[in-house]
Amino acid sequence: MLIIPIKDGENIDRALKRYKRKFDKTGTVRQLRARQAFTKPSVVRRAQVQKAAYIQNLRDNVEG
């Protein structure tokens, strides 16, 4: 369970924004969506390799 302490005089919108940010960091929604359908391990590995290659390409372009 997420606990968001609200400081005295804090705007409720700001507290709600903190809650949403904390909730996103936990990855609950992503985990639920991933559990809805089975993904083969080979597909997961392929996606990881593609993501790593994309990030490496971005870093190479920044350096060069």
Question: What pLDDT tens digit does each residue of the chain (64 aa) get?
Answer: 889 899 899 999 999 999 999 999 999 999 999 899 999 999 999 999 999 999 999 999 987 6
pTM listed for this prediction:
0.53
3-state secondary structure of 3: coil
Q: How far apart are CA 4 and CA 23, in angstroms?
A: 10
Q: How far apart are CA 37 and CA 31, in angstroms?
A: 11
Q: How far apart are CA 16 and CA 31, in angstroms?
A: 22
Domain residue extents for the chain: 12-63
Q: Who contacts 22 (Cβ-Cβ below 8 Å, separation ≥6)? A: 2, 4
List the structure tokens of 54.
Answer: 């994309």
